[in-house]
Amino acid sequence: MAQRLLLRRFLASVISRKLPQGGWPPLTSGALQTPQCSPGGLTVTPSPARRICTTRVRSTTFNIQDGPDFQDRVVNSETPVVVDFHAQWCGPCKILGPRLEKMVAKQHGKVVMAKVDIDDHTDLAIEYE
């Protein structure tokens, strides 16, 4: 509720601000470039404003899809794995799950967490009771 109120106040303040004279300039590829001057200050050559990195971020929490996926991502993992066997209808599971995720996230990749829905994967729940 407090977040919703804060968001409304923020949006109201942004909307109530006036546009500068003539409106905002159009965004073009030239607008995304930063001019650089030579030592004499005579020539200007555009260069990219910033570089975008496309490395993939590895998630520390993932859902198990089936038995072979469990075998591959949990049993054969080189990284220690915390396995959360949970159910949608389980109240304590809903409380414990986010706490486990926070603890695993604090480890910065040293530990990962696998989530197994016991209603979808009953065989895994029975096997790894």
Dump pLDDT digits (tens) for 67-81.
999 999 999 999 999
- Among the listed residues 81, 93, 100, 118, the single catalytic one is 93
- Amino acid, res. 58: R
* CB 84, CB 113: distance < 8 Å: yes
- Among the listed residues 81, 82, 90, 125, the single catalytic one is 90
37 is catalytic: no
Q: Where are the domains positioned within the chain?
A: 61-127
- pLDDT (0 to 100) of residue 56: 47
Which tens digits make up the pLDDT trace of 38-60?
555 555 555 556 666 554 445 78
Beta-bridge partner residues of 37: 44
61-127 is classed CATH 3.40.50.880: no
The span from the CA of 16 to the CA of 9, in Å, is: 11
Which tens digits make up the pLDDT trace of 94-127?
999 999 999 999 998 899 999 999 999 999 989 9
Instruction: Count CA atoms within 13 Å of residue 67 on its CB side.
Output: 7
* CB 124, CB 116: distance < 8 Å: yes
Which tens digits make up the pLDDT trace of 18-41?
555 655 555 555 545 555 555 555
53 is catalytic: no
